[in-house]
Amino acid sequence: MVAAGKLFICCVSTLNIFMNRKKTILFTVQVIIVLLGSFLGYKIWSISKSKEKLIAVTQHLPSIQFRKIDGSIFNSDSVKANEQFLVFNYFNPGCEHCQNMVKEMHAEKNLLDTVSWIMITAAPKSATKAFYDSMRLNELPNVTVVLDTAYNFIQTFGSGGVPSFYVYRDRKLVRKHSGECSIHYLLGLK
């Protein structure tokens, strides 16, 4: 009988240990869920704050500097305030949508007379120069191609998709667009 009593006490002790472990595991899981929820909430909040800052920064023409293909410097501060339109066009020479946009620019060349069109790329200079030559960008009025080897565009505008467009009038953002679209749409003509 003493052995049965010891066995019973041993089983009860084991059951208590198991129940304490179960409570500990349950508590640990709850803490992990709360911490994970807090972390995700913070990340969502910080991303929304970053987006708000980018939106605020790009509402007026930001100060940004790039290198032209010939090595000279392009600075957005040098853009005339009375330009009718200033288009920042982030592109990649290998992007089919970007190539289609240049083809449309050739077809709608007359619309570019009142536009300063700045084509910005992070591609290597050799690929950009080949694109410049093959797409005959030198034949388009008011088009400047610049290199963004320091990724200033992405840091300032928060967009790395190609093509991306930021259209300014009197140094104020009037349109922002990612993806292929028409020049008429960008300039608000249709």
Give the number of domains in the chain: 2
Same domain, 26 and 82: no
Domain hosting 41: range is 1-58
At 188 the pLDDT is 86
State which of 42, 58, 74 marks the end of a domain: 58
The residues, ordered by sequence, that sit 6+ positions from 62 with a Cβ below 8 Å of its Cβ are 76, 156, 157
Q: What is the pTM of this model?
A: 0.71
Contact, 65 vs 73, CB < 8 A?
A: yes
Q: Is the alpha carbon torsion for 58, 62, 68, 74 positive or negative?
A: positive
Query: 127 and 35 in one domain?
Result: no
How far is C-alpha 69 from the chain's CA centre? 24
Query: Do 81 and 110 share a domain, yes or no?
Result: yes
Mean pLDDT of the region 88-112: 93
Q: Which residues contact 76 (CB under 8 A, 6 or more apart)?
A: 61, 62, 63, 64, 65
Backbone dihedral angles phi then psi of residue 137, each to the nearest 5 degrees:
-65, -25
| CATH code of 112's domain | 3.40.30.10
Summarised one tens digit per residue, pLDDT across range 32-64 is 787 777 777 777 766 555 555 555 556 778 888
* Per-residue model confidence as pLDDT tens digits over 117-148: 999 999 999 999 999 999 999 999 889 999 99
Q: Give, as one character, the DSSP assignment of residue 163.
A: S
- Greater confidence (8 vs 87) lies with 87
Locate all alpha helices (DSSP H) within the chain, ordered by sequence.
2-58, 96-107, 125-134, 152-157, 183-186
